[in-house]
Structure 1
Amino acid sequence: MKVGIELGTTSAGEPAKLDLEELLSTRLLVQGNSGSGKSHLLRRLLEQSAPWVQQAIIDPEGDFVSFSERFGHTVVDAERSPGELQRIATRIRQHRASVVLNLEGLDAEEQMRCAAAFLNGLFDADRSVWFPMLIAVDEAQLFAPAVAGEVADDARKASLGAMTNLMCRGRKRGLAGIIATQRLAKLAKNVAAEASNFLMGRTFLDIDMARAADLLGMERRQAEAFRDLDPGQFVALGPALSRRPLGIRIGAVDTAGRSGRPSLMPLPETSRDALEDLIFDASAEVLPMPASSSSRSIATADLMRRIETSKAIDMAPEPEADPRSEAERQELLDGIYAELLSDPEAAFRPVPLLYQDFQFHCRLRKLGGFGQDMSAFRRRLALARAGISAESGDEAWQQVLSVSESLPEEMQGVFLLVARAAREQAVCPSDEALARAYGSHSPSRGRWLLTYMGEQGLIRCEADFRGNRTVSIAGVGWRTLPGSPKGGGKPAAAISKLASAQALMFGGRETGEPDEEPEAIPAE
C-alpha cells in the first residue's frame, strides 16, 4: 500500500511528500544545529504517519510524551531493569503498540544503557512479530557517539551496538530507523552511512557543511547555503523524498513539546536588598516535602517485609491482667532499651538478634506482649538511635517522623539522626556516625545513605569549597551547620551530644560513654 505523508511545502509552494513505504526500507537521517527545527520535523513526520504504522520514539528529553494524549502512544518509563525493558519491548512488537521511551531525568550513561536494552528487545523479537515499525531516535549522537566520551566504555559499546543493529540489520526485521543529530561529526559513521534519505537543516561549522554537501551530492561551493536556512527549512534527498536536492519548509504540528524557542520577558521589579535576602538567606529556603508513604504504591519488597514483620495471631488464652499501670510498664520498657543501647556493639548487631534480646528481657520483667511488636521495636530503636522521642508534640517533628516512614526501616534512624542535627542547628554528622547508625563499619555506606535519601527528595546535601557538608531537610526548612564528612572536631562533639540525649531519654548512661581515664604513664 502506497502512503504519501505531507511534510510541508517545497520552495516552489507545492506539497512536499514522503513515501512512507519506501522510508521503511531505506531509513532517514536528519541533521541540524540546535534551534534548526529537528524536533519539529520529527514531530510532523511522526504525527502524519501515526495512523499508518507502528512507532517507537526514543526521547531523551521527554518532549514527545504528549503523543500519548493525542495519538494513544504508551509512555514507557525508563527507570526499570534491562531485563524488564527487553520484555516490554518484546510485548510491544507482539501487540503492535506505539510507544514513547521517556529517558528524561537520567544521566547520559543511564540513558545509553536503557536505550540499548530497549532497542535490543525490539531487535531480538521472534520472527513471527516482525511487523513494520518506525524507530525515531532524537539526539542520536548521545546513543551512537563517534568517539568515546566520559561515559563507561561498556555502556557506550552497548548503545552503539544497538544503534548499529537498528540501522544496518533492522530492515529485515521490519525496523526502520529515523535518527536526528545536531552534528554529523558527533555521530558514528557506521550508523549515519546506512541511511539513504536525508533532511539537512541549518549548519554553521565547515566540517558539518562539507559532510552534508557530500551526502546530498552537492558541490563544496554550494555547502555554504546551509548557513542561510531558516528554522524549519531543510534540504531533502533520497528515494522516499526526492531524486534531487529539494528545499522543504516543514508544516505545522498538532502537538507541542515541553521545550520551545525562548522568548524575552521583563525582569522582576525587586530591590537589590530584597534580592540579596532571597539569594543568601538559607533559613527562608524550604524544600518541597515529598509524598508520605501512605500515598505511595507499595512495592513488592515492602509488602513482603510487612508480611514478615507483622504480628502473628496469638490463639493462646489471654494472660491474667497485669496489676502494674501502663506508666510503670512503659518505664520498664525504657530501661530495657537503655540497657540494649548501652552495649557499644549494639549498633552493628542485626535487628532480629537485638529483638530476641529485647523479648528475653521483657519475659524476665513479665511484660507479656506489652510493646513487643516487631514493627514497633524497629521504629522505637530507630528513634532511640537518633536520640528523639516519638511522643514529641512538635508539629514539624511529627511531619518529619511521618515522612521517614517512606524509607526502609533500617534507614529511618539515619534520617532522623540527620534531621535532629538539622533541627538543633548542629554540625552535619560524619560518614562514620551515619554508618554506625545504619549498623555498618564502612564510612562509604554513610555517604551512600545521604545520596539515596537525596534521590528520594527527603534531603538536599551540599558541600562548600572546603569540603564541609551541609544537609537541608525537605518540607521544614531545617539545615545543619557545615561539618566534615570525615568527622573530628565539632562534628564529633555534635554526635556526642546526640548520644547524650538518647541516653537521657531512656534514663541510662550515655551510649559509648568512655570508661574511667587510664592513669598517665610517668615519663622516664
Structure 2
Amino acid sequence: MKTEIVIGHGTGGAPVSFDIEELLATRLLVQGNSGSGKSHLLRRLLEESAGMVQQVVIDPEGDFTSLAEPFGHVVVDGAAYSPGEIEALARRIREHRASVVLALESLEVEQQIRCAAQFLTALFDAPREHWYPALVVVDEAQMFAPAVAGEIAEDTRRMTLSAMTNLMCRGRKRGLAGIVATQRLAKLAKNVAAEASNFLMGRTFLDIDMVRAADLLGMERRQAERIRELERGHFLALGPAITRVPLAVKIGPVQSGLKARAEGLMPLPEAAPEDMAALLTRDLASEAARPAPPPPPPAAPRVDEVEASIARAEERQVPQPEELRDSGAVAGRIEELIQALACEEGIAFQSASAQYQTFLSRCRRERLVGPMPDMQSFRRRFAIAGAGLDELDAATRERILTLAGTVEEDLLAPFLVIAKAAHAGETQVDEEALARAYGTSSPGRIRRLLDHLERQGLVVVRQDFGGGRTVMVPGLEGLAAG
C-alpha cells in the first residue's frame, strides 16, 4: 500500500513527499504565526492522507469541520455532550476507526481545554484490541499544552498537560501519532514539543520563537532570520518522514475549506447610500430596547456606614406601638422584618454580618422589645425566607429543612432554592435565583458551589460541555435543570 503523499513543492519545483507510515512512528510539530498558512498545511496533510489512515482532529476554532462532506469525517460538537459521553465517544471512535473532527468553537476556553483533555485521555486509554493507527491533530496546541500557568484553573492545566504528554510521549505504542500545531513555540510545553521528530516551521517574528525553531531545525542561530522572511504558505521542513536536511517547501492547494473566507481586499457593497442607511437604522429602536445585561452586584457597605445607619435609625425611633408590646406580636413582627429584608433587591450580595446589622437596626427603629434571634438563627430564617419555603405546605417544608440540617450556613440559602425547585419538578432551576441566594454573579462560583454540594452528598449534578446542567436532590421527587 502506498504510504507517501505530496504536501507541496520545493524551491526548484520538485515535489516534497511525506511518508505517513514513518509519521505514525515519529510525530510532527507545526509552527507558524497567524496568517502563515498553518491551517492550510494541516488541511493539505489531512486531505492527502484521508484514504490511508484514521484521523482525529481537535478543532478549537471550527476550521476543519468542512472535511466532513468531501472526506466523510464525522463532526462531533463538544458542547452537545457531557464529559462521560465525550469519553464514551472517544472509545467508540477507536473501536470503529472513525475519522472525526471534535469541534469546540461553541465552548469557552477552559471548557474547550477540559473537553479535549478528557477526549484525548479516553483515546489513550482505549482497550489494547482497539489500538489501530491514527493521526491525532491538535490545532492551537499552546492552549492544550501551555508552557506556563495562565488564567485557567490549576487542575485544568494539569489535566490537559497530562493528556498531551501521553499523546506525544506514549501514544506511539497505542497507534496514536500526535500532530501538534502552534502559533508560538515559546508558549508550548517543552516536553510536548521535544517528542516530535518532524518539523514544519512557518513564518514567525519574535526572536525567542525564531531561536527555538532554528534549534529544532538544526540551523545556526544567525540563520534564524530566514524564518522571519518566509512567505505565507511556505515552511521549512525537517524530519525522517520528510527530509534529512532542512528543506523549503511551498504547500500545495486544498480541496475543502471555508469558501466564504476573504483573502486580501474585496469589493465594497454597491448599495446606494440611502439603502445602506436604511439597512443600518431599520428596527434600531427595538434592538436598543432589548434588556441590557444585569448590573454588577452592589458592594457590601462599610462598617462605618452600617454604624451610621444604625445611629440614624435610633434617632428616628418612636415609642413602641401598643399592639407590639405583646411577645407574640413582637415575634410575628420580627418574622415580617426578616421576610421583607430577604425580598429586598441586592441584600443577598451583602455579607451576613451586614444583613444582621440591618435587621437589628430596623428592630430598634420600631422599638421592638423582646428576645432577638442570634446571628445563627437569623441566617437560617433569612435563608428560609429568601427561598420562599413559606409558600409550601408544612409537611414539605419540614422535609426540606430536615434534609438541610447538615448544610453549612453559608450554603443553606442556595441549597433551599435548589430543593424547592426539585420538589416542584420544575424543568429549570432559576439561575438568577440561585445566584441571588448565594450572593454572587459569577458562573464559576455557582459551578464550584454545585461541585461542593455534590461532594457533600446533598445533590447529584449532571453537566454537559454546552453548559446544560441537571440537578437532583436525593430524597425529593422531581428534577431540576439549569
Interval containing the TM-score (normalised by the shorter chain): 0.5 to 0.7
- Cα 1:105–1:243, aligned 2, differ >3 Å: closer, same or farther? same
- Could you say which residue in structure 2 is the equivalent of 1:86? 87
- Cα 1:278–1:152, aligned 2, differ >3 Å: closer, same or farther? farther
- Could you say which residue in structure 1 is the equivalent of 2:437? 442
How far the C-alpha of 1:261 sits from its partner, in A, is 3.7
Q: Which amino acid is the alignment partner of residue 408 of structure 1? A: T
Distance 2:438 2:143 in 1: 35
- Cα 1:160–1:263, aligned 2, differ >3 Å: closer, same or farther? farther
- Could you say which residue in structure 1 is the equivalent of 2:33? 33
- Cα 1:283–1:39, aligned 2, differ >3 Å: closer, same or farther? same
- Could you say which residue in structure 2 is the equivalent of 1:107? 108
Q: Which amino acid is the alignment partner of residue 141 of structure 1? A: Q
How far the C-alpha of 1:263 sits from its partner, in A, is 3.3
- Could you say which residue in structure 2 is the equivalent of 1:53? 53
- Could you say which residue in structure 1 is the equivalent of 2:167? 166
- Could you say which residue in structure 1 is the equivalent of 2:427? 408
- Please give the secondary structure, in 2, of the residue aligned with 1:442: helix
Distance 1:215 1:356 in 2: 68
How far the C-alpha of 1:444 sits from its partner, in A, is 3.5
So what's the TM-score if we normalise by structure 2? 0.61
- Please give the secondary structure, in 1, of the residue aligned with 2:39: helix
- Could you say which residue in structure 1 is the equivalent of 2:43? 43
- Could you say which residue in structure 1 is the equivalent of 2:23? 23
- Could you say which residue in structure 1 is the equivalent of 2:246? 245
Distance 2:39 2:114 in 1: 23
Distance 1:151 1:442 in 2: 27
Q: How does 1:179-258 map to 2 (within 5 A)?
A: 179-257=180-258
Distance 1:63 1:286 in 2: 35
Distance 1:441 1:225 in 2: 58
Report if aligned partners of 1:2, 1:20 keep a CA contact under 8 Å in 2: no
With 252-261 and 23-32 compared, the bigger mean Cα shift is at: 252-261
With 19-28 and 206-215 compared, the bigger mean Cα shift is at: 206-215
Report if aligned partners of 2:138, 2:181 keep a CA contact under 8 Å in 1: yes
- Could you say which residue in structure 2 is the equivalent of 1:151? 152
- Could you say which residue in structure 1 is the equivalent of 2:389? 349
Distance 1:277 1:21 in 2: 55
Distance 1:261 1:59 in 2: 21
- Cα 1:447–1:351, aligned 2, differ >3 Å: closer, same or farther? farther
Deviations 1:42-84 (A, max 9, x none): 0000000010100100000011111111111111111222221
- Please give the secondary structure, in 1, of the residue aligned with 2:135: strand
How far the C-alpha of 1:445 sits from its partner, in A, is 7.3
Report if aligned partners of 2:387, 2:437 keep a CA contact under 8 Å in 1: no
* Alignment root-mean-square deviation, CA: 3.6
Distance 2:437 2:213 in 1: 55
From 249, 266, 274, the equivalent of 2:268 is 266
Matched pairs, number: 325
Distance 2:436 2:290 in 1: 31
- Could you say which residue in structure 2 is the equivalent of 1:131? 132
How far the C-alpha of 1:260 sits from its partner, in A, is 5.5
- Could you say which residue in structure 2 is the equivalent of 1:3? 3
- Please give the secondary structure, in 2, of the residue aligned with 1:142: helix
Report if aligned partners of 1:35, 1:261 keep a CA contact under 8 Å in 2: no
Deviations 1:132-168 (A, max 9, x none): 0000011100100111101111111101110000000
Report if aligned partners of 1:198, 1:216 keep a CA contact under 8 Å in 2: yes
- Cα 1:347–1:122, aligned 2, differ >3 Å: closer, same or farther? closer
Q: Which amino acid is the alignment partner of residue 263 of structure 1? A: L
How far the C-alpha of 1:24 sits from its partner, in A, is 0.3
- Please give the secondary structure, in 2, of the residue aligned with 1:177: strand
Structure that is richer in helix per residue: 2
Q: How does 1:418-433 map to 2 (within 5 A)?
A: none
How far the C-alpha of 1:408 sits from its partner, in A, is 3.1
- Please give the secondary structure, in 2, of the residue aligned with 1:236: strand
Q: How does 1:290-439 map to 2 (within 5 A)?
A: 348-349=388-389, 353=393, 408=427, 411=430, 435=433
Distance 2:436 2:217 in 1: 63
Q: Which amino acid is the alignment partner of residue 59 of structure 1? A: D
- Cα 1:350–1:92, aligned 2, differ >3 Å: closer, same or farther? farther
Deviations 1:230-263 (A, max 9, x none): 1000010000000111110001000013756453
How far the C-alpha of 1:218 sits from its partner, in A, is 1.0
Distance 1:256 1:128 in 2: 35
How far the C-alpha of 1:351 sits from its partner, in A, is 7.6
- Please give the secondary structure, in 2, of the residue aligned with 1:245: strand
- Cα 1:241–1:285, aligned 2, differ >3 Å: closer, same or farther? same
- Could you say which residue in structure 2 is the equivalent of 1:328? none
Q: Which amino acid is the alignment partner of residue 180 of structure 1? A: A
- Please give the secondary structure, in 1, of the residue aligned with 2:88: helix
Distance 2:138 2:178 in 1: 8
- Please give the secondary structure, in 1, of the residue aligned with 2:244: strand
- Please give the secondary structure, in 2, of the residue aligned with 1:17: strand
- Cα 1:51–1:270, aligned 2, differ >3 Å: closer, same or farther? same
How far the C-alpha of 1:32 sits from its partner, in A, is 0.7
- Could you say which residue in structure 1 is the equivalent of 2:326? none
Deviations 1:357-401 (A, max 9, x none): 9xxxxxxxxxxxxxxxxxxxxxxxx9xxxxxxxxxxxxxxxxxxx
Deviations 1:413-437 (A, max 9, x none): x9xxxxxxxxxxxxxxxxxxx63xx
Deviations 1:107-131 (A, max 9, x none): 2211110010000000000000100
Which structure carries more relative contact order (alpha carbon 8 Å, separation 6+)?
2
Distance 1:186 1:346 in 2: 47
Report if aligned partners of 1:2, 1:21 keep a CA contact under 8 Å in 2: no
- Cα 1:67–1:349, aligned 2, differ >3 Å: closer, same or farther? same
Report if aligned partners of 1:76, 1:101 keep a CA contact under 8 Å in 2: yes
How far the C-alpha of 1:283 sits from its partner, in A, is 3.8
Distance 2:262 2:181 in 1: 17
- Could you say which residue in structure 2 is the equivalent of 1:77? 77
Report if aligned partners of 1:113, 1:159 keep a CA contact under 8 Å in 2: yes
How far the C-alpha of 1:228 sits from its partner, in A, is 1.4
- Please give the secondary structure, in 2, of the residue aligned with 1:247: strand
Q: Which amino acid is the alignment partner of residue 27 of structure 2? A: R
How far the C-alpha of 1:352 sits from its partner, in A, is 7.1
Distance 2:199 2:266 in 1: 34
